[in-house]
Structure 1
Amino acid sequence: MHLRGKVSYLGILVGILVAISCIYIDISKNSFYLVTANHEIVGIVKGSKALNEVLDSIKKTDGEAFLKFLSYKKVKPTRNFISQRELEKNIREKLSLKSKVYSIRINGEEVVKVRNYEDYKNIIEGLKKYYYPKVGGNIKVLSYNIKEKIDVVEILDYYKNTVDVDDAIQKIVDGKMIVSEYEVKEGDTIWNIALDNDVSIEDIRLVNPELNIDKIKIGQKIKIVKKKPYVNVEIVAMVSSSECIPYDTKKIIDKNLKKGIQKVKEKGQNGVAYVEKKIVVLNDDVVEEDIVLNKIVKQPKDEVLVLGAKKDLYVAFNGFIRPSRGVVTSRFGYRWGRMHEGVDIAASTGTPIYAAASGRVIFAGWKSGYGKCVIINHGNGYQTVYGHASRIYVRSGQYINKGERIAAVGSTGRSTGPHLHFEVRKNGIPQNPLKYIK
């Protein structure tokens, strides 16, 4: 009996010890600790395990010395506690220690660092929105595709080396600077060098401060610096819109009217077409456009214009005047692997642009690639196009006389410097303007 009693008491004691141990573990798990760094509160954390793991992490990456700046004490249970990850983040930020950040790498090259993974996801979405097709009408995006490989890697770094979402998007869009050297050849002008290298004359001047751009010499080395975007975003979209069909002008010659007098016998009316097209946009440029549906909703009504007796009423060969003064720097034909459908006439910003022949303005405004642009219909299938203007002085539907000022030279749209891009089209087909202008 005596031995059995001792065993019984031992069992009770072990049970009590186990119970006390469980209570201690439970208390440890449910303890709350208020943590300070440099005597400033950085948060309350639940459980000694979470606290110890944060301290061990800091000790492992930054050394034991930084632990002296930390203190903690037990506090009453509260709902206002933070996660282990948040506590470590707050401590590292307060003590200016390295923290877990995210390195965004494009084709293996680190471009930017951000504080959290959510920022990375917002950057990807932001890049898509940045290049959202800037065309009129209703747009339905079919697909987005970033052609480059983008990875995100968690690393340790200082927060001061990270950027916010907007700055990260801008840096990726701006791209990196590519430096090259161009050797001047016979026949080169600073204008054609700028065009061939897709930079502006002002950019050349900035990176070559000793260069006299008006007196370049054969064999001279010119530094070319331009930006290359880190990513190319391809967007495929359907665009539907109601588009204007410009009315044409029928001209009647009245020999009884004084030379130069014109009268509108019947007013013209623009037509309307419902158009659906599939477009492919690469960054800011529409690189493909296929018309899926072109339905005429309202037919245009021709204007009837009575003109006084005048020989130069219709456009014929050699019937155009030169639209602006300046030097022809780029001719009609293939350039950089694609067709250049007009000629470029270099001139200072603000130089007047004149109508090459009389006709009706069928477009006056912003046109993709052309910037501020004017298109004139001259009848007999002829149209002229005037691109990259700084200002436009006419409006769509207005009748313009040959030699009348219509715009001013500029560098809007896809342009590398101030010039007039001038086109002649016959029945919609681009012609060499130098065969027509005097």
Structure 2
Amino acid sequence: MSTIDKYTREFSVIVIILTFIICFMLYYQCKPNVYEVKLGDEHIAYVKDKSDFENILTKIKKDMNQKFESFKLKDDFSLKKIKVKKEILENENEDEIKKAICQNSSIKVEAVMIKSDGKELGIVANKDEGIQTLTVIRNYYANKNNLNNIIDSKVKNSIDFIKVNSYISRVKTPDEIGEYIITNNIFKDKKPLVSFEIKGYKKEEVKIIPTTIIKWSKDLSDGSVKVLSDGKEGVKVVDEEITLENDIIVSKKPISEKVLETSIQRVVLKGNKIGVNKSKNSKSVSTYSLALLRPCRGSISSPFGRRWGRIHKGIDIAANKGTPIKAAYDGTISYAGWIEGYGKVVKINHGNGLETLYAHCSAIKVKKGQNVKKGELIGNVGSTGHSTGPHVHFEVRINGIAQNPVSYIKNSA
């Protein structure tokens, strides 16, 4: 054998071996590694083996039979072996495949339509899941307002659970319908789809805002202010009974409170002699009392200060309905109208940061912008707003800070 023939034979062997290797590699790269599941022309999922898909179908049938009174799986699925990238297969999981099958299937089931005041909210598997949907909504609003314990709740709408035949793709979970309802409950110009009244307890730490003591000095110019002590906020734990309408707090009822850290009063020195009477023992810095008139005859039924877990910013003077209410000092009517909780209200601006407020009136006898004199009729005692009986709620504010009116009024009416 010639040398040329020898080299030719060796080269041929090498070519054959390389061709075999290349063909093997191409076959390996193109070798089908999964089954594509299709329903008609619609891609559903990828599975490794036919048995995996059969197991998923078995689980779907079991789940559906537990949830629905009537259920039949009639769809014809096709499986074809193909090649896909490894990462695509890794993204497939059993729950996603179940969901894809149900969303694309023509399966019909006997389910339950939830209606609120006749409006369709969605379809769930059964009545129990309909009730669970309402629980999802209730718990959302309770948790949003930090209710520690729900003691009572009720739906203010007429809720109906109606059996319907539906494609399984239209059936939603309680969480899905609950989220839809909550999202569409927020539009202020529309009636809520579902309106809950929820009563429960709330415990939270709150700051105790220090009260402010105003001292008057003849040595400071009018309107000037000097802070003698900044004071210090306190901390307390408050237990309240809260009533909600969805996420709006309708009422609060204090149950108990525990002071963890006591507040320290803030002391402010003001240079303002208008409307004050100097005390007998005068010094460079002295405390003065405003010469205000008691707004009406009657006994003080609720004093200034802490009441029901919060600060009562004025005093309540109990009197018969219709009893005249008089201006405590000369000034200008800054407000005459309705304030939520306070009912019919009159506010008088006396200048230099002094303002008085008269609430729960049965009638208002003055108008905004009107000048009044001390002792002039401004309204009549009533029980408007949040009130348990006829009285006038009287506040004294200096630079917006509520003061104890008893420290500033005379005994005469």
TM range (shorter): 0.3 to 0.5
Q: TM-score, normalised by structure 1?
A: 0.41
Rg larger for: 2
Q: TM-score, normalised by structure 2?
A: 0.43
